[in-house]
Structure 1
C-alpha cells in the first residue's frame, strides 16, 4: 500500500466540551506551506464557514515552532522550511448534530472531513492517511465502535485505527460515525453494505430495515446496470462497498450523499417497529430518504455537473443543473420504492400528489425557473425566510415534476422512457461529469426528436408543466378538491397553545390583499351586525374555527396583533381555490409506468 505523506490523527479530546483534537503531520511540506479548511461541503450548497469551529492552531517542525499567519477566514500560512516534517495541532468544537458538519458528546461522535481535516495546498492529489483513536470511556460505559467507508489499513475489531484515502477529495467525502451504535451487514448484488443506527429505541426492528434497504439497493443497481449486475460475467456497480449511517433523534430529518456512504438523520418514531406488520407513513418517508441518497451514488457523486468536475472548497461552486441531479433523484427515489415493492400504486400517487401540490401552491414558481433555482441555491434554498415561497421554487420538487413530465412524454410518444435516457447519459459519459447538452442529446436519441422546446419551457422558463394531461394518459385520475382553509386564504400558519401565528403570506392571495404580514398573530374576527344588531367578535384558536362563525358571510374583519399593535384587516373570503388530488383510474395503464420490474 502506498505510504501517505499527509497523516491525520483524530482524538475525542473532551467529549463533555465537544472538542476533537487533530494532529496533522505533513512529511514533505513546501516552504511557507499553506493550509485551509473548506467553507462548504459538497451536496449542501451553502457556505457554512467550518473554520469558525477551529481553535488553538499550533505548528512545530522538530524543536522549532514556526510562526503561523492567518491569511483569511479559513486559511493559514506556516513559516516552515521545505522537506522537513511539519506537524500541526488544533482543536475543533463539534456541536452540530446534523449530517453536514461534526458532533461530539458523551454518547456519540460524528464528523465529515470538511469540518476536521485541513487541506494541504499543493498536496491534495496524493494519499491521505487518518488514524481514528478510540475515546477513553468510563467503567460503566458501553464500548464504542467506529464506522466509515474509508479503506482500513490497520484497525481493531471495533473499527478504530488507521485508514487510507486516495486523495483529499475522498477523505473529505467519507464521514465517520463513532459510538455504541446498532450495526448490521448485508450484500446487494454482490456488493457488501453496512447499516449503522445511532440512537435507536428498544422497539427498533433492524431486520425489517435491512430487508427493505436491500430491496432498495438491488432495485437501483438493476435500474442502472440491468438484471445481471453483480453476477458472473455481468456488469459491476461503480461502488465496491457502501455504509449507511443513520442518526435517530427526537425530531429531525435529512441526508447527505457520499461516493461510498451516506449520512442520514430521522425521527426515532419513523424507524420500523417490532411487531407492526403495517408501518406508519414516517417509515415510508425514511425509506424515501434512503432511496434518495443511494440513488445519488450514480446521480451526483459520479454523474455530476461539469462545473463539479473538481470541487473548489474555498468558495461557492455554481451550476444550473441541480434540477437534474437533485430533482431527478427526487423523482426516482419514490418511483423506485414502488418498483421495489415497498409501495403500492395508491401510496406512490399520494407522494406524487404531495410534491405536485407543494409546487402548485408556491407562487415563486411564477418568478423563478428551476434552472435559476439551481444557480441560486447558495443564497436562496438554504436561506429560507418568510418570502421564500413567493420568490423561489425548489429544484427538488419542481425538478422531480420535470422528470415526471419527460418520463411520461417519452412513454406517451412510444420512444422509450426517462430510464433509458438516464442509462444512456451514464454510458456515454462514462459515469462522469455532464452538461445540459449531454442530457438533451440523450433525450433526442431515446425519443427520436429534439426536446429543446420542452427544456426551454419546463427548465428555463416559469411556464406551468403539463402534469394533468400527462398523468391522465397514464391511468391517473386528476381531481380538484376544495383547499384547506390556510391555502384558501393564501397563508401558512402555526397553530399551538390557542394561538394562530402567521408564518408566510402567499403572493396574490386573499390574506395578502387584506394586509396580513408574516409574524402576525391572528387573534380573532369581527362580523358586521345584521339589521341594526351590533357587530360580533370571536376569538379564534385555529383556522378551522372560522367555519363555526362565518355562516354564509364572505366579508369579515380580521383582528391581528403586529409588533404589539392591534390591527383590523378587511378580509374577503375567496371561492374556487382548489387542491390537486390524484387517484388510480386505469390500473393497467398505470402498471406500464409503475409496475415492479
Structure 2
C-alpha cells in the first residue's frame, strides 16, 4: 500500500510539473514521405523581447565530427502568436534569426531525410528513422526548457513510435530539456516489439525488419543474453531514465549500417536485404552499443562535457570509451553463447597484429589517436590524407590495449581482471556520474591493481606507444599467437587489379617494399616480377612472388601519369600474426582461459 501511495504521489507531482512548464513544442507530419520529406512545426513561447536564434545542430551525440545537417532544411516560415508572418534572416549557414515577435514564434520547415543510420535520418513509406540533431531545430538560450513532440502518424500505416523519451500518450513524447531530446533517436514504423524485465527494468527491442515471430523471438533471446552478461561485468544495470532501455534496430535494404549509443537507447542499423534471414544480424553492434550504457554514457570523459551541438567534440579518452568497449564487444558474445569461445579467441590476433605493425604508432599515442576523431568519425572531405600511415583507429587500438590489460591482470594470478577494474571505475566515476580524465583512469587502476602496475601500464602504453608482450600474455592465457607464414615474402600492400592494371587501395605504408621503392597509390602497376597484370586473374599479388624469399629484389613496372618506369623492389618478410586456441596449453593457462571466457 505504501508503494502504491508513493507511486500515485510521484505521478501526481510529474503531472503537475508538466502542466506548469513552458515547453518547446514540436509537431511532425509525413504527408510526403514517399519523397523523403517531413513537415515540422516548432512553437517557441514565452520568449524574451529579443531576436530568437533558431539553430540546426552540427554534431550529434556519439559522433565526434562535424555534420552539416542544415543543408536538408528548406521552405522555412516563421509566424508570431497571432499568425502574422515574421521576417527570417540568416547570420550563418546553420541559423535562422527571427525578430519582431510577440513572445511566440511558430517556426515551420520541410526536412529532407534519406539516409537511415546512426547519425542521419531517413524517411520513406516504410518508416521515419529520426536521429534528432539531423531532424529538429532548437533555440539558443531556451535549451533548458522541456520538450514535447507530437507525431502525426500516416493513416493506415500501422506505424508506432519507439524512443527513450517519456510517452505521454496520443503519440506525444516528453524530454526534460533540449540535450535529452537531441540524445533521443526515434524509430517510427510497423516494427516488432519485444520486452523483458531484467533486474527490475524494462529492456525493449523495437525491430524494424521483415522477419517471422520465431526469428524475432530467437533474436531477442540472444540480445537478452548479451544484456545479462554485460550487467554481470558491472554488477548491475544502470538506472535507466523512466525505467527503460530501448534497442532501436532498423534492418532494411536502404539503411546505412551503423550503431550509435544514447543514454537509454541505441540505434543499431543494417542494410540487410529483405530476403536474408534475420539470424544474428548486427549482434556485434548490439553488444558494443549496449556496453556504452555504462562506458561513455555514464562513465563519461570530462572532455565531452558539456557536449557541443555547434562544433566538433574532441576527446583524448576514446581509446578507453570506444576501445575498451570494442574489447568487450565479442568477449561478451562469447560469454553469452552468441559466438563460441574458439571463434572469439581465433579472431583476436588480426587486430593485435594490425596495431603492432601499424606505422601510425610512430606518430601518435592512443590519446593523440583519440584526438583525431573529428577528422575520421564519419567525417567527409575531398582532399587526400595520409591516415593509412599516421592513424590507427582508437576502436582497434583501444580494444587491443583492453585485451592486454585484462590478460596482464589475469596472469598475476591474484584474482585481478579487467571486469572488476571496470566495475571499480563504474562505482567511482560512472554510477555517481563524475566525468573522468586520463589521469583519473590511471588513479583508478592504481587503486585497483597497485600504483607501480598502473604507472607502468600508462607510461608505456597510453602516454607512449609501446606494445605489450602479446605473445607471452597469450601463451599464459592458453592462446597461440604466431605468424603462420613466417619467412614468406610479401609486398605488404593491398593491390586491386582492375582491367589491365593494378593499384594500391591506400597510400604505401612507411617502411614497406613499395614505399621504399618510391611507388605510390596514384601509380598504375603494370607488372610484378615479370608477370603482366593485364592477364593476372588472382586475388593476392603475393602469389606472383611465391618463389622468392625476403630480401630478394624484383622489378615492378608502373605507369605514372603516362610515363612508364621500372622500380627495383626489395621483398619483405610477412609480419602478419594470428591467434588460435591452444589445445596443448598447460593446466594453469587452461584455467585462466576458462575463467576469462565463461559466462558470469
TM category (shorter chain) comes to 0.7 to 0.9
CA contact (8 A) 2:486 2:573 kept: no
C-alpha distance in 2, partners of 1:365/1:7?
49
Q: CA deviation at 1:482?
A: 1.5
Q: CA deviation at 1:552?
A: 4.2
The alpha-carbon distance between structure 1 residues 96 and 236, as it changes in their structure 2 partners (threshold 3 A), is closer
Equivalent position of 1:337 in the other structure: 333
Pairwise mapping of residues 313-324 of structure 1 onto structure 2 (< 5 A)?
313-324=309-320
Q: Which piece of structure 1 moves more, 358-367 or 69-78?
A: 358-367
C-alpha distance in 2, partners of 1:79/1:169?
25
Q: Which of 194, 203, 206 lines up with 1:196 in the alignment?
A: 206
C-alpha distance in 2, partners of 1:298/1:489?
43
The alpha-carbon distance between structure 1 residues 577 and 287, as it changes in their structure 2 partners (threshold 3 A), is same
Number of equivalences: 564
C-alpha distance in 2, partners of 1:112/1:580?
39
Equivalent position of 1:353 in the other structure: 349
Equivalent position of 1:71 in the other structure: 91
Structure 2 residue 431 is matched with structure 1 residue 426 = no
C-alpha distance in 2, partners of 1:57/1:175?
23
Q: CA deviation at 1:521?
A: 4.0
Q: CA deviation at 1:567?
A: 4.0
Pairwise mapping of residues 158-197 of structure 1 onto structure 2 (< 5 A)?
161-197=171-207
C-alpha distance in 1, partners of 2:220/2:192?
12
Q: CA deviation at 1:196?
A: 2.6
C-alpha distance in 2, partners of 1:73/1:467?
50
The alpha-carbon distance between structure 1 residues 247 and 435, as it changes in their structure 2 partners (threshold 3 A), is same
- SS of 1:297 mapped into structure 2: coil
Structure 2 residue 166 is matched with structure 1 residue 151 = yes
C-alpha distance in 2, partners of 1:240/1:272?
34
The alpha-carbon distance between structure 1 residues 162 and 394, as it changes in their structure 2 partners (threshold 3 A), is same
Q: CA deviation at 1:204?
A: 8.2
C-alpha distance in 2, partners of 1:470/1:347?
19
Question: What TM-score do you get using the length of structure 1 for normalisation?
Answer: 0.87
- SS of 1:332 mapped into structure 2: helix
Equivalent position of 1:407 in the other structure: 406
Q: Which of 259, 263, 266 lines up with 1:262 in the alignment?
A: 266
Structure 2 residue 97 is matched with structure 1 residue 94 = no
Q: CA deviation at 1:241?
A: 0.8
Q: CA deviation at 1:499?
A: 6.1
Q: CA deviation at 1:174?
A: 0.8
C-alpha distance in 2, partners of 1:133/1:186?
28
Q: Deviations over 1:335-392 (max 9, x none)?
A: 1222223233211112322321332342212221110011121124545856312011
C-alpha distance in 1, partners of 2:141/2:595?
53
Structure 2 residue 323 is matched with structure 1 residue 305 = no
CA contact (8 A) 2:162 2:187 kept: yes
Structure 2 residue 128 is matched with structure 1 residue 130 = no
Q: CA deviation at 1:455?
A: 0.9
- SS of 1:29 mapped into structure 2: coil
Q: Deviations over 1:409-457 (max 9, x none)?
A: 2223326222222222221231342222321221111112241232122
Q: Deviations over 1:194-239 (max 9, x none)?
A: 223334366982122111001111111222125xx7xxxxx96677
Equivalent position of 2:10 in the other structure: none
Structure 2 residue 458 is matched with structure 1 residue 455 = yes
Pairwise mapping of residues 23-62 of structure 1 onto structure 2 (< 5 A)?
23-31=41-49, 32-61=51-80, 62=82
Q: CA deviation at 1:33?
A: 1.6
**Greater RCO (CA < 8 Å, at least 6 residues apart):** 2
C-alpha distance in 2, partners of 1:187/1:484?
55
Q: Which of 494, 499, 508 lines up with 2:511 in the alignment?
A: 508
- SS of 2:290 mapped into structure 1: helix
Equivalent position of 1:289 in the other structure: 285
C-alpha distance in 1, partners of 2:548/2:310?
60
CA contact (8 A) 2:58 2:67 kept: yes
CA contact (8 A) 1:126 1:166 kept: yes
Q: CA deviation at 1:165?
A: 0.5
Q: Deviations over 1:543-564 (max 9, x none)?
A: 5466367644843322344445
Measured on the aligned residues, the alpha-carbon RMSD in Å equals 2.9
Structure 2 residue 538 is matched with structure 1 residue 542 = yes
Q: Deviations over 1:142-192 (max 9, x none)?
A: 53332222111123xxxxx21111111111011111223333333333322
**5+ long unaligned stretches in structure 1:** 156-160, 230-234, 528-534
Q: CA deviation at 1:513?
A: 2.1
**5+ long unaligned stretches in structure 2:** 1-14
Question: What TM-score do you get using the length of structure 2 for normalisation?
Answer: 0.86
Equivalent position of 2:24 in the other structure: 6
- SS of 1:433 mapped into structure 2: coil
